[in-house]
Amino acid sequence: MQKLGLTQTLSQKLSPQQIQFIKLLQIPTVELDTRIEEELEINPALEEGKEESAEDTSGEEDFEDSYNEDLDIGDYLQDDYSGYKMQGDGMNPDEEDREMPIATSASLTEQLEIQLGYLGLDEPKHQIGLQLIGSIESDGYIRRDLEAIVNDLAFSQNIETSTEELEVILRKIQSFDPPGIAARDLRECLLLQLKRKNEQTKEVKIATRLIDESFDDFTKKHYDKIIKKLNLENEEQLKDAISVVTKLNPKPGSSASGMVKTQYLMPDFILTNNNGKLELSLNSRNAPDLKISRSYSDMFDAYDKSDKKDKKLKETISFVKQKLDSAKWFIDAIKQRQQTLLNTMRAIIDFQFDFFQEGDETKLRPMILKDIANAINMDISTVSRVANSKAVQTEFGIFPLKYFFSEGITTESGEDVSSREVKYTLKEFIENENKKKPLSDDKLEKLLKDKGYNIARRTVAKYREQLNIPVARLRKEL
């Protein structure tokens, strides 16, 4: 039985001004100009330039109070920051990709469709070819099962075919450029490229046998097994074959997609060291001069004082007021963005003062989002937005703010050190190891403990993986 009832709840909702601030805060400097230009285009009450006098804005409403509240921005975007401590150690592949692809030529799909047209296939076979090309992923592989593609053709295009016919047409597509395209796995991709080599030298032939007959042993670096299995004369033959393989492209789609990725790392802050005194400034592009249009403000005053209170005039007054309010909100949001950026960066500089003095990576202290959020009395999610999308230019180079965040490790002496320092030491051990007998994670754990770092073997493995360093057996060299 359904019942009607009243319930009273208390919740915090973000105002449009606060949402505007959040969105502006996370925009990188390189994109801020574009965002401002968009606002200038849609709002005639907003203009570029410095405000003429305080009188020009005397009638403005004060919107900054709504920004200075301790916002629960998590309610807005529901971000998960639980793993940020480790994300702060470096670029996280799961994070939002801010690279901007710029089209310079035909896409990979278009290139393949053009080559398909040269085959002169009949209509059903051409459609099958198009379906196969459409199943190729951005890296150049077809991972969808051929049986599933047969079903796709039957249901979506009413084309009856078989996996055998698909295989025949797939082989034709695999002969297209770039070499290795439309492979179903890495082994097939490498073999396709080796078979397309113009000169089938002895090294290429051994490399082909290596991938065709001993691919598993090759991935596990079981070199002794390979030499015996392929009846090679010596290690040099295997080295030459491996050299051929390592020059092949494991992702043929990425190099032929016709899409060039360009990423700009523009600093939001400039940090200079003036005889030990650190001086921070904002990139000038973060502090544009914006003002309320004088003519629009005068227009509103004139309309507001008018005796004509007809419907059309009321609508005009409402429109002008809405544009003025929107312009004021935008200017306030830009100012609040600047202040939040400076407050956050100053707190990071205070926390990592020793690093900014010398640029020594080992001087970085353990630091998490909460440390900075507490220092500037702001929400963790606000700090995260700054850290995720901003960078600082120092005398030692340009660093994304995420670089300065890492978890802590306690040494035998009870001192807290940054996990970055441990990783730096770990990397040094691996770089200086005997590549014929690489150090296992157990041995690395003991070496680190000898240095005073109390970490478990699983933590060593975690740090090694974050440094993109493979396990010992895969680091083995002849």
Query: What are the distances in angstroms from CA 181 to CA 105, 245, 330, 379, 424?
Result: 18, 16, 49, 48, 38
Per-residue pLDDT, 307: 60
Q: Which residues contact 75 (CB under 8 A, 6 or more apart)?
A: 12, 13, 14
- Sequence spans of domains, the chain: 14-93+263-406, 108-173, 186-256, 408-475
Reading the chain (478 residues) residue by residue, the pLDDT tens digits are 566 666 665 555 556 667 767 778 877 777 788 888 888 888 888 888 776 654 444 444 443 343 343 433 333 233 333 333 333 333 343 444 433 333 334 578 888 998 998 888 899 999 999 999 999 988 899 999 999 999 989 888 889 999 999 999 999 999 998 899 999 999 999 999 999 887 888 999 999 999 999 898 888 888 888 899 999 888 888 888 888 888 888 888 875 544 444 444 678 899 998 888 899 998 877 777 888 888 877 777 776 666 656 677 777 778 888 888 888 888 888 888 889 999 999 999 999 998 898 888 778 888 888 899 999 998 888 888 888 878 898 888 888 888 888 766 655 555 556 677 788 888 888 988 888 888 899 889 888 888 877 788 888 888 888 888 888 887 887 7
Of 333, 158, 155, 186, which is closest to residue 252 (Cα–Cα)? 186
400's enclosing H/E stretch is strand 397-400
Indicate the CATH number of 408-475 among 2.60.120.1440, 3.40.50.1370, 3.10.105.10, 1.10.10.60. Answer: 1.10.10.60
Q: How far apart are CA 59 and CA 75, in angstroms?
A: 33
Both structure tokens of 26: 């996370």
Q: How far apart are the first and last CA of the chain?
A: 77
Per-residue pLDDT, 211: 92
Per-residue pLDDT, 3: 62
Model pTM above 0.85? no
Per-residue pLDDT, 322: 86
Per-residue pLDDT, 142: 93
Per-residue pLDDT, 191: 93
